[in-house]
Structure 1
Amino acid sequence: MKLAGPILVGLCAASATFAASTAPDDVIFGAYGEAETPLTGAAGDAVKGQRIFSEKSLGNCVSCHQLTSLPDVPFQGEVGPVLDGVGSYRTPAELRGILVNAKMTFDGTVMPAFYKTSGFIRPGDGYTGKAAQEPIQPILSAQDIEDVVAFLGTLTD
């Protein structure tokens, strides 16, 4: 019986964190595409962020970007810039904005908007070649974005 209080408090805290997520259409961008406000009430987890960055079934960032600090990750891309040291020259707000919707910072970029669900010209239904019938889900969750921001912030050369 004595554990009921702490368990209830923990569940309420977890629910509050989940409820605090910013919806994709509610992200506020600054003049240069930065997103100052974190998307969740939970801090990003750099270890999870590295996994999202590295695994093609998750964020797939490594398909376009290279990191020399991840020599065991095969088939790193050459489309986007090498991200060595990115935590030294980009703020968390800039990184968050680029991940949410890179076109807010770099007009014409081919980088996908990882946390966008509206404003598309011709959204497809997965890889079927058909128009989307359902509401579009973001590629990454709000917490995934915060985790990748935390990971990229550790890359300071």
Structure 2
Amino acid sequence: MRKTCKRGLLGAALLLAATTSSWSAEPVGPKDVVFEETIVKASLTSQPGNPAEGRKAFADRKLGNCLACHKNTEMSEQQFHGEVGTPLDGVAERWKPDELRAIVINSKKVFGPDTVMPGFYTLDVGVNVDKKFEGKTILSAQQVEDIVAYLATLKN
């Protein structure tokens, strides 16, 4: 009886720890992102952004594909830097992380509806969306945080 009770208490303690710890929290969904003017203060995840993973997603043509529009000298080994968007050299000195997060999540809320930059973590993507992309974001919440962490390293 005593062993069973100890196991039960241990199991309950582990369950409580798992449900209340920050590592088990669900990411903020795209519909639940809170914009305060042109910033998003709260992280989308309970995990800090990983700059190395953000760099990979930034360059990945099937994810962020940021190089399609932006020049980034830090990635000089990559080909075909775009010139549609502003160069991202020194971006961490121009924008704070909560501003960068807002821009990556939904640039139209920051720059206005006419910007060509897509929202990477929003379901508000316009009309005539291919059925396979309806209800999906381009990036996951963690990928947004990783890219923001990477952008925060880009100083002159």
* Residue 82 of structure 2 is aligned to residue 83 of structure 1: no
* Paired position in structure 1 for 2:6: none
One-letter amino acid of the counterpart of residue 135, structure 2: I
Q: Give the counterpart of 1:104 among 96, 104, 109.
A: 109
What's the counterpart of residue 150 of structure 1? 149
Higher alpha-carbon Rg: 2
Distance, in Å, in 1 between the alignment partners of 2:33 and 2:48 is 17
Q: Deviations over 1:75-95 (max 9, x none)?
A: 010110000000112000000
Which runs of structure 1 show a deviation greater than 4 angstroms over 4 or more consecutive aligned residues? none
- Identity of matched residues, %: 40
Q: Which runs of 5+ in 1 are unaligned?
A: 126-131
TM-score by length of 2: 0.82
Which 5+ residue runs of structure 2 have no aligned equivalent? Answer: 1-10
Matched positions, count = 141
What's the Cα RMSD here? 2.3
Distance 1:65 1:105, change over 3 A: same
From the two aligned structures, give the one with the greater helix fraction.
2
Distance 2:146 2:126 in 1: 29
Alpha-carbon distance in 1 for matches of 2:128, 2:65: 19
Does structure 2 conserve the Cα–Cα contact (< 8 Å) formed by 1:18 and 1:40?
A: no
Tell me the distance in 1 between the aligned counterparts of 2:63 and 2:134: 20
SS of corresponding position for 1:21: coil
State the TM-score, normalizing by the size of structure 1.
Answer: 0.81
The yes-or-no answer on 1:62 pairing with 2:67 is yes
